């Protein structure tokens, strides 16, 4: 007989692409079974989680994921260019913009984007520091990060970007169709990872 597997509320939230509070509401309403550890932590049986997700999908089938994309960029012309390119993209998504690093952090927490398009030379908080904060906290929720920069000739900046290891890097000027294609590929990979994580937890 195999060992019974359990998920934390955070793991369950990441697997199905929702916030932790949503998972807690499901538990409080009795829709998602859970047990409470001696330390007072909620643990969700993996089998019960999969059955719950299957019921949700059967009740409310969705044709495709509505991916959330956030652009953090201070150049209005670049914002218009990138937003216009994604407006023509043939996959479902929502798109928002922040014009400085501080506003970007706030929108990341509120929006919980699946993909962040990040300029490096930003006011308030630069892109490198922003990337460090995202990776060091849970606010980014494992969001994919694509760096967009015009500082390609600055060696120190280039090395710092490489050390930060974004999921993709674009130097200005760039082909917007290539940016959209890269974003779609990263989002598809992210969805596949969530599905694999849910299966491996069973």
Question: What is the CATH class of 67-192?
Answer: alpha beta
CA distance 41 to 48: 17
Average pLDDT over residues 119-140: 79
Q: pLDDT tens across 4-33, in order?
A: 788 888 888 777 666 778 888 888 888 889
- CB–CB of 52/12 below 8 Å? no
Q: 6-61 in CATH: which number?
A: 1.10.1660.10
What would the pLDDT profile of 137-195 be if each residue is shown by its tens digit?
755 467 899 998 886 556 666 777 777 788 998 988 889 999 999 999 998 875 544 43
Distance CA 66, CA 43 (A): 28
H/E stretch holding 5? none
The CA distance from 65 to 188, in Å, is 9
Please give the average per-residue pLDDT across 34-59, as a whole number: 84
Per the document, the length of the chain is 202
pTM listed for this prediction? 0.61
Q: Domain residues of the chain, as ranges? A: 6-61, 67-192
Alpha carbon distance 31, 102 (integer Å): 37
Of residues 44 and 15, which shows the higher confidence score? 44
Give me the mean pLDDT over the 31-48 stretch: 88
- Same fold for the pair 6-61 and 67-192: no
Cis preceding-peptide flag for 120 (omega within 30 of 0):
no
Residue 111 has, within 13 A of its CA and on its CB side, a CA count of: 24
């Amino acid at each position: 007989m195999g060992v019974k597997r359990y998920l934390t509320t955070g793991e369950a939230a990441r697997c199905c692409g929702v916030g932790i509070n949503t998972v807690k509401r499901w538990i409080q309403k009795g829709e998602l079974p859970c047990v409470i550890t001696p330390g007072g932590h909620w643990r969700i049986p993996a089998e019960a989680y999969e059955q719950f997700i299957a019921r949700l999908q059967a009740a409310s089938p969705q044709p495709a994921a509505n991916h959330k994309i956030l652009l953090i960029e201070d150049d209005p012309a670049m914002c218009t260019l990138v937003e216009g390119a994604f407006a023509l993209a043939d996959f479902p998504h929502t798109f928002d913009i922040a014009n400085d690093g501080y506003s970007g952090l706030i929108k990341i927490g509120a929006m919980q984007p699946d993909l962040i398009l990040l300029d490096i030379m930003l006011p308030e908080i630069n892109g490198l520091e922003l990337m460090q904060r995202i990776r060091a906290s849970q606010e980014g929720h494992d969001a994919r990060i694509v760096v967009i920069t015009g500082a390609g000739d600055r060696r120190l900046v280039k090395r710092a970007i490489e050390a930060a290891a974004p999921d993709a890097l674009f130097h200005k000027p760039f082909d917007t169709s290539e940016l959209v294609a890269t974003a779609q590929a990263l989002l598809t990979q992210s969805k596949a990872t969530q599905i694999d994580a849910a299966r491996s937890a069973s």
